Amino acid sequence: MPRFEYTALDARGTESTGIVEAATQNEVVAQLRQQGFFPTSVVPEGQGKKPAKSGKAVAKNAGAAKSEKKGISFFQKRTIPTKTLMIFTRQLATLIDAGLPLLKGLTVLAKQEKNLVLKNSIIQIADSVQGGSTFSEAMGQHPRIFQKLYVSMVKAGEIGGVLELVLTRLAEFQEKAQKLKNKIKSAMTYPLVVLAIALLILVFLLTTIVPKFAKIFQDMLGENEQLPGLTMGVMAASKFLMDMFVPPTLWFTLVLIFGIGSGWWSLNNTVKGIDFMDRMKLKLPIFGDIAKKGAIARFTRTLGTLVTSGVPILQALNITKETAGNVVLADAITKVHDAVKEGESIVSPLEASGVFPPMVISMVDVGEETGQLPEMLLKVAEVYDDEVDNAVDSLTSLLEPIMIVILAFIVGTIVIALFLPLIKIIERMNTSQ
């Protein structure tokens, strides 16, 4: 019976070769596929291509490939946009679901990827997989692109043999998380932008318009003339603001700005500062409620997605803690983890933390009792997604008229303050006639 040499890839994308006896090449392909392999080459024995590269040539090519991967990496960012990673995840899930081997799918995506950072990472991951590493291990070598949550879910998918399903869930998770993040960011950004515009208008009026009117009043009424209290207050504010940009007050202003900037940096880059800021975010009158709901939605979705994908509950809680995005919530998750480790339920530490609303605790309790905790967590995430959407929409519609009123009040106050002396001047002119 004829003998055929074959080259095939297994489910992990690892290449293997061998010799099989069969009547035809088609029979060889059928046998390999039944064994879980994906044949890439089947030829009669003795006709296969043999590598004829010397050691120097191999080293030269390896060096060229390495330099090609690095390219201008010194000048590149080490991270990639969330949308780019989302597209890559969904495309890889589609290719694997269509029956393409993992290694081949990575090669295809690397060729078409325009983002150089992700392209180089995919090439390196493909090399690691071809060298015998698992997909999750290869991804773990690029922590700035593939976070622990991502790697853990991929590992669970590999173990369970449902990698394409896990990748699809990952893409959906990223899409929902990014949508929620954008919603919260837009809710926080709008009032800050309007406030900044209001301050710029205020500075312009106080430094440009008010001084000119002050000179007119001084020339027409004299220095001894008593101006209305509102006008005097606006002119004093104008003088104070202009003095801030003239030495020696200028140096005090610069030191003050530097001090505020340093304090803000400390709040956002030290353990105590981050803890303080995160607690304050949750206590803000309106935005605190939105931030809290967003954090709960992120927690429940992350934990639900991990557990559904087959990640053990303790490991899932550890990953969720690292991706919580808020120190207060991370502390609560730590307590949950410790309680579960001791054999307790999730509900008691959740309730004791004081962070989670009664509805969340009740739904988690029901999920534990019915054995449907992952599904219940994902339902909670959907509920809070909707609540955040509604809260942001309501806040945006409420902020628009409020900001307009604030702008009108600022401009109106300055205009009235400037017109009061003008009325006095006009009355004096009429009296003298």
**Which of these ranges, 21-35, 47-61, 305-319, 390-404, has the smallest mean pLDDT?**
47-61
Is 171 within a domain? no
Whether 83 and 178 have beta carbons less than 8 Å apart is answered as yes
3-class SS of residue 17: strand
- Tokens describing residue 281: 């975010």
Whether 380 and 175 have beta carbons less than 8 Å apart is answered as no
Q: What gap in Å lies between CA 207 and CA 44, rounded to an integer?
A: 88
Share above pLDDT 90 across residues of the chain, in percent, rounded to a whole number:
1
Name the residue among 78, 151, 148, 140 with its Cα closest to residue 115.
78
Q: Edge-to-edge strand order for the sheet containing 3-9?
A: 15-21, 3-9, 38-44
Q: Do 432 and 325 have their domain in common?
A: yes
Where residue 17 sits, what CATH number does that domain have?
3.10.20
For 393-408, the pLDDT digits (tens) are: 787 778 778 878 888 8
The pLDDT of residue 409 is above 70? yes
Whether 31 and 21 have beta carbons less than 8 Å apart is answered as no
How far is C-alpha 158 from the chain's CA centre? 25
Q: What gap in Å lies between CA 254 and CA 258, rounded to an integer?
A: 6
Whether 142 and 127 have beta carbons less than 8 Å apart is answered as no
Q: Do 141 and 195 have their domain in common?
A: no
For 60-95, the pLDDT digits (tens) are: 333 433 434 343 333 445 678 888 888 898 888 888
3-class SS of residue 3: strand
Boundary residue ending a domain (146, 170, 190):
146
pLDDT, position 62: 36
For 253-270, the pLDDT digits (tens) are: 788 888 888 888 877 777
Q: What gap in Å lies between CA 13 and CA 88, rounded to an integer?
A: 18
Q: Do 314 and 395 have their domain in common?
A: yes
Q: Which domain holds residue 37?
A: 3-44
Q: Do 100 and 244 have their domain in common?
A: no
Indicate the average pLDDT of the chain: 79
**DSSP letters along 84-96, please?**
HHHHHHHHHHHHH
Is 338 within a domain? yes
Is 207 within a domain? yes
For 102-144, the pLDDT digits (tens) are: 888 898 899 888 888 899 999 999 988 888 888 888 888 888 8
Boundary residue ending a domain (122, 146, 170):
146
pLDDT, position 97: 82
pLDDT, position 431: 73
Q: Which residues have C-beta within 8 Å of that of residue 7, sequence separation ≥ 6?
A: 15, 16, 17, 39, 40, 41, 42, 48
How far is C-alpha 76 from the chain's CA centre? 19
For CA atoms 92, 97, 102, 105, the dihedral sign is negative
Where residue 123 sits, what CATH number does that domain have?
1.20.81.30
The better pLDDT of the pair 300, 395 is held by 300
Q: Do 362 and 407 have their domain in common?
A: yes
Q: Do 251 and 391 have their domain in common?
A: yes
* Phi, psi dihedral angles at 125 (to 5 degrees): -65, -45
Q: Do 84 and 212 have their domain in common?
A: no
Q: Do 205 and 287 have their domain in common?
A: yes
Q: How wide is the angle at C-alpha 411 spanned by C-alphas 408 and 415, nearest 5°?
A: 125
Q: Which of 181-195, 219-233, 328-342, 383-397 has the highest mean pLDDT?
A: 328-342
Share above pLDDT 70 across residues of the chain, in percent, rounded to a whole number:
86
Q: Sorting pLDDT into bands at 50, 70 and 90, what band is 52?
A: very low
Is 170 within a domain? no
pLDDT, position 287: 78
pLDDT, position 123: 92
Whether 246 and 274 have beta carbons less than 8 Å apart is answered as no
The pLDDT of residue 13 is above 70? no
Q: Do 289 and 326 have their domain in common?
A: yes
For 362-379, the pLDDT digits (tens) are: 998 898 888 888 889 889
For 21-30, the pLDDT digits (tens) are: 888 777 777 7
pLDDT, position 166: 81
Is 172 within a domain? no
Q: Do 246 and 120 have their domain in common?
A: no
**DSSP letters along 367-408, please?**
HHHHT-HHHHHHHHHHHHHHHHHHHHHHHHHHHHHHHHHHHH
- Tokens describing residue 60: 């030269």
Q: Which of 232-236, 306-310, 396-400 has the highest mean pLDDT?
A: 232-236
Is 25 within a domain? yes
pLDDT, position 330: 86
Categorise residue 379: left if φ over 0, alpha if ψ from -120 to 50, beta otherwise. Answer: alpha
Angle between helices 116-130 and 82-97 (to 10 degrees): 40
Q: Do 244 and 369 have their domain in common?
A: yes
How far is C-alpha 232 from the chain's CA centre? 49
Q: What gap in Å lies between CA 388 and CA 288, rounded to an integer?
A: 11
Q: How wide is the angle at C-alpha 233 spanned by C-alphas 231 and 239, nearest 5°?
A: 100
Total structural domains within the chain = 3
Q: How wide is the angle at C-alpha 272 spanned by C-alphas 270 and 276, nearest 5°?
A: 115
Q: Do 102 and 39 have their domain in common?
A: no
The pLDDT of residue 14 is above 70? no
Hey, what amino acid is at 320?
Answer: T
Is 156 within a domain? no
166 by Cβ neighbours in 10 Å (0-12 / 13-18 / 19+) ranks as buried
Q: How wide is the angle at C-alpha 30 spanned by C-alphas 29 and 32, nearest 5°?
A: 65
Q: Cα dist. 76→71, 73, 142, 340, 373 in Å?
A: 9, 5, 15, 43, 42
Span 41-46, mean pLDDT? 75
Is 53 within a domain? no
pLDDT, position 122: 92
